[in-house]
Amino acid sequence: MRRFLLPLFALFLGPAAVLAQGPVGMPTADDAKGWQGVGKLILGDRGFCTGALIGPKLVLTAAHCLYDKETGARTPDAAITFQAGWRNGRAEAYRGVRRSVPHPEYAYEGEDEMGRVAFDLAVLELDQPILLPQLAPFTTDGRPASGTPVSVVSYAQDRAEVPSIEQDCAVIASQASALILTCNIDFGSSGAPVFALRDGVPRLVSVISAKAEYEGSKVAVAVPVEAPLAVVMDEIGRDDTAHRATGGVSLIRGGDAGAGGGAKFVTP
């Protein structure tokens, strides 16, 4: 999870702004029912992020989770584990990662910039599909407008053993590159799914990128998923085509040394 101070132009607190009351833990199966598709992403031995199923083999998260804070190197896919529905020491399903695909325009450079938030999205392809009925993938949807109530399901450093949900958030600014939310998030919440209720069904509309402060209040910065996810899925499709064209020979990409620490990112 990254942290930075928002410039004045990044946020307008209008009269419709809602003050978040904070996340509530979901320690029992009944509490977590319907949210088991959210899980912990273990990034080697350096930390964790949050991810969510958007397909039987696909997990959506933040791109910066894939990079080591100290070296800027990509975390090896073999070092990443998705623990779906992690709660009280066990998960509904454990999966390794076959490949991770960040947005092609995302470039991790250590320092936080609002301009990069628009590309802070990645999709992980699991080594095996998750087909359990209680772990149904979430449907994604378009960006929510300012004033829209949203919910965030996440794990964080002080609540890493159970998922938490915050249902009293609101979108208080909707920019081309990012959403500003009243949600109270913390380290480990990077990549957490943001849901908006559409026709009575929660739809995944955004992903947590960073936490921030504005005039002493905690806010969250999130990536609207619709446009960047389409780009990432196109990248995945292109990789699949190239893989078939080379007779199934996989290309090894550079920069896959070191362990990931996306969950521990802190910058002034």
How high is the mean pLDDT in each 10-residue block of the chain (268 residues)? Answer: 44 37 89 96 92 98 91 93 96 97 88 77 97 95 94 90 92 88 87 94 95 82 95 88 46 30 28
- 9, HSE (Cβ side, Cα atoms, 13 Å): 2
Give the chain's radius of gyration (CA, Å). 17
The CATH number for 159's domain is: 2.40.10.10
pLDDT at residue 114, rounded to an integer: 72
Residue at 254 is within a domain: no
Residue at 168 is within a domain: yes
Find residue 74's DSSP bridge partners. Answer: 67
**Amino acid occupying residue 172:** I
Q: Is there a contact between 179 and 33 (Cβ–Cβ < 8 Å)?
A: no
Q: Is there a contact between 78 and 260 (Cβ–Cβ < 8 Å)?
A: no
Residue at 74 is within a domain: yes
pLDDT at residue 132, rounded to an integer: 95
Residue at 255 is within a domain: no
Residue at 188 is within a domain: yes
Residue at 197 is within a domain: yes
pLDDT at residue 268, rounded to an integer: 23
Q: Is there a contact between 152 and 183 (Cβ–Cβ < 8 Å)?
A: yes
Number of domains in the chain: 1
pLDDT at residue 110, rounded to an integer: 57
Residue at 41 is within a domain: yes
The boundaries of the domain holding residue 226 are 2-26+34-248+260-264
Residue at 128 is within a domain: yes
Find residue 201's DSSP bridge partners. Answer: 198
Helix-strand-coil percent breakdown of the chain, rounded to 5?
15, 35, 45
